[in-house]
A and B are shown apart, each in its own frame.
Chain A
Amino acid sequence: MKAPMTREPADSVATAPAFGFPPPPDVLASAPPDVAYALPPPHHGHPLSRVVVTTGQVITAGAVLAQIDDADLHSAIAGTVDVAEHLITVRSPAGAAWRLEPEPSLTPPAGADAAAFAAFLAAAGAVGMGGSLFPAARKLRASAPVATLIVNGTECEPGLAIDRALLLHHDEWIRHGTDALARACGATRIVLAVQAAPRELAALRERYPYELAVMPRGYPAGAERLIVQLVTGRPLPAGRFPFQAGCLVQNVATLRGIGRALRDRVPFVERPLSLLAPAQKLIRNLIVPTGLSYAALLAATGCGFDPNHQVLVAGGLMMGRHVSLEDRVTLGTTGLFVLPARVVQARERACIRCGACHEACPLGLHPIAMVQRAANRGPRTRTEKAHIQACFLCGACAAACPAGIALAQRLREARQHV
């Protein structure tokens, strides 16, 4: 009954998880010729980062490149530094391998309290690896003390499987990071939020001594707000943060990074991600150095790419963005998709008021009404504002629209007026 009702692009990835039981992620073996990191642009004339290296300097892997507010920037490889205005490039000597164990460069946290742990997180460069890149140190300082720590292992972007692979195979690091963070923030309740098949749930119960919250299948179950709603039993209104509901939510890749920083003294220079090229039947979970160019990633994995007929999408199919070969892997890159260009083409037709977007919205909002009433001029009335602010731009409405209306894009524009 269900089968004829879903319209997938012909050779797009299936919405269902692609791996039955995800294998452990492979570590990218060959050395990248260079890594590059963009620096945050100055804010109102004040630089947000302090570069601590100079052009020509030779550094070890894991060395600090720049001190950025609440999350330092580290180099993933050893090599020679080149500092440009907003970009730091590190070129590796030929033949060097990318090692997963950079020189231990971190000092362990001075104490178990929130302030000392936050300082450690800032020095390790810990940021939200679900894609937000929000500094973990800032989140901890804002949240502590907090009653509940939620481990977000709910990967809902269709096709991605990296969070599930980490949960199953990097559980030691994840447990270590989770327990330490729970101690630092004073959480007495630890909840692991997942969206997994029954077989995997059994494996997760063996590995984690935490309370398990199973999110419903489908997109966007992994949204922070929906997880907090499920765990606390109350919706989290727009503009309020999870800590106001007594929760601290961290992505599973972030917690893996924290565990690794604590145990192995390796800073945040590794990015676990899924690489998917449906046309070539290629799907892999990888751990790659940050700052790696997509061109180098594709070359290293032997994944072909035809710029005339294919496009690269980083992040995910629902909330990701179009990238070019020269762009770089950041700590927020959860996945890379090589898609046929015609899949991402869309022809927009007039709204027939079928209500598919209303049906798709996870928050029960009125997507097309928001767009029609508020897109061009911004929301005016109290209720229009409430709708626009509640929307977290998951894109479920736009994906469901049979007329191909770019609802997510319009809603993003409308939000800029708020």
Chain B
Amino acid sequence: MSDHADIRLHAPYMSRGPSLRARVLWVMSSLGLLALLYGVFYDWAYVPRWGLCVAAGLALEATYLALGEGRWSLRSGSSAITAAILVMSVPAGIPLLPLLLALFVGVFVARMGMSSTAIRLNPALLARLFLMLAFNHEVVAWTQPGLPTDGVTTATPLDLFHAEGATYGLVPLLLGRIGGNWEGLYEIVAGSPGEIFTPIILLIGVILALSRVMEWRVGAAFLAAFAVTCALVGLPVVFSLVTGSVIFAAVFIAGDPVSTPASKGGRLMAGVVAGVANALIRAYTFYSEGIVFAFLLANLLAPVLDRLAFTLRGLMLLGQAAAFDRRGRARRGP
């Protein structure tokens, strides 16, 4: 009849799923906005640096595909997200070479190499784990951006809280600028560029979730579980939520649909796992924050959580059927 070889002879005849490329574009615009804000408020040099990393991510993805397929192409361009998240979760002044090395690990091992394997690790987190292990000093070298401060490093508010129990008012934390109250010397900027504009990140997260670009279940469950666990172990809840990269992770790391479980129930459980783990790491370990470990743990558990959700849904279906039949017998009488 027709010479088209692969005409699909069965329904459905239409596709209405979200396009991966459109999703990547939306997320990249959000991350780009945050990078731009950092550039405006603190350090213009950060913007080209961010752009360079994103370009490097895309180049790595194209290289990976070229090695396998023999021609230059991009899959969904999602390595750009990996690069952007990575560069925004480390100090602004980190040397470029370790950063690119970590990006290579993230893209080649996790983003492309683990494509369609049973367990997938979030590539940005794997890259950051690599940095933490191989370049430990550079990852915590919180410089003072915007000041001619080659040699001066400071701690973040979270580090100070962790080490000395210092807390700050909510308003300066939300605005990302804290009046000098650490030895009265420096203004303290809260950590990595991605963590600073908490209210804006939260707003972006809500918009992305409502427009179905990002998955919201992991992030929401993560925030809820984190807040509850913080309250239980005696950490200040609001301070804990707005410091560190909790909000950033809830939006941009929890929102990654690929490394988290696929099922709705599994996603809720993964969020709870990550939230509880992060709060416990903050409270009881020598790390001031444990986003990387918390979410990598959730990634590793993804197949188990999916399986658990599958079984629970199946049991619920069986229970509904049994209840339906009981009601039917009661109606008909014995």
Contact = CB atoms under 8 A, between A and B. Distances in A.
8 contacts: A2-B212, A5-B211, A337-B13, A344-B8, A353-B261, A353-B302, A387-B313, A408-B12
Contacts of A337: 13
Interface in A367-418: 368-369, 373, 381-384, 386-387, 390, 395-396, 398-402, 404, 406, 408-409, 412
Given A351-B116, A353-B258, A399-B14, 4 more contacts: A341-B4, A354-B262, A387-B313, A406-B10
A73 to B, nearest CB: 27
B324 A236 contact: yes
B259 to A, nearest CB: 8
Interface string B16-30: 111110110110000
A352 B115 contact: yes
A315 B310 CA distance: 32
A400 B17 contact: yes
Contacts of A7: 15-19, 22
Interface in A227-278: 234-240, 244-246
**Chain B interface extent, by class:** 35 or more
Interface string A298-317: 00000000011101010111
A360 B311 CA distance: 19
Contact of B10 (A246, A353, A409): A409
Contacts of B12: 317-319, 395-396, 398-399, 408
B317 interface: yes
B116 A350 contact: yes
A357 B26 CA distance: 21
Interface of A: 1-2, 4-9, 12, 15, 158, 234-240, 244-246, 307-309, 311, 313, 315-322, 324, 337, 339, 341-347, 350-360, 364-366, 368-369, 373, 381-384, 386-387, 390, 395-396, 398-402, 404, 406, 408-409, 412
Main secondary structure of the interface of A (DSSP, over half): loop
B133 interface: no
Interface of B: 1-4, 6-20, 22-23, 25-26, 115-116, 120, 207, 210-213, 215, 257-258, 260-264, 267, 302, 306-307, 309-311, 313-315, 317-318, 320-321, 324-325, 328, 331
Given A244-B328, A317-B14, A353-B262, A1 B321 contact: no
B264 A402 contact: no
Nearest to A218: B16
Contacts of B320: 235, 237
Contacts, number: 198
A357 B257 CA distance: 12
A324 B1 contact: yes
Contacts of A395: 11-12
Contacts of A356: 17-18, 257
B324 A383 contact: no
B20 A402 contact: yes
Contact of A352 (B1, B11, B116): B116
B17 A399 contact: yes
Given A2-B211, A237-B320, A350-B116, A383 B14 contact: no
A1 B14 contact: no
A5 B18 contact: yes
Nearest to B23: A5
Contacts of A245: 324
Given A1-B211, A238-B321, A308-B3, A322 B17 contact: no
Contacts of A237: 317, 320-321, 324
Nearest to B259: A353
Contacts of A9: 14-15
Contacts of B261: 353, 355
A4 to B, nearest CB: 5
A400 B19 CA distance: 10
Contacts of B325: 240
Contacts of A8: 14-16
A365 B314 CA distance: 8
Contacts of A321: 9-11
A102 to B, nearest CB: 34
B11 A358 contact: no
A398 B8 CA distance: 12
B22 A358 contact: no
B325 to A, nearest CB: 8
Contact of B15 (A246, A324, A399): A399
A369 B263 contact: yes
B264 A359 contact: yes
A234 B11 CA distance: 29
B219 to A, nearest CB: 14
Contact of B257 (A341, A354, A382, A409): A354
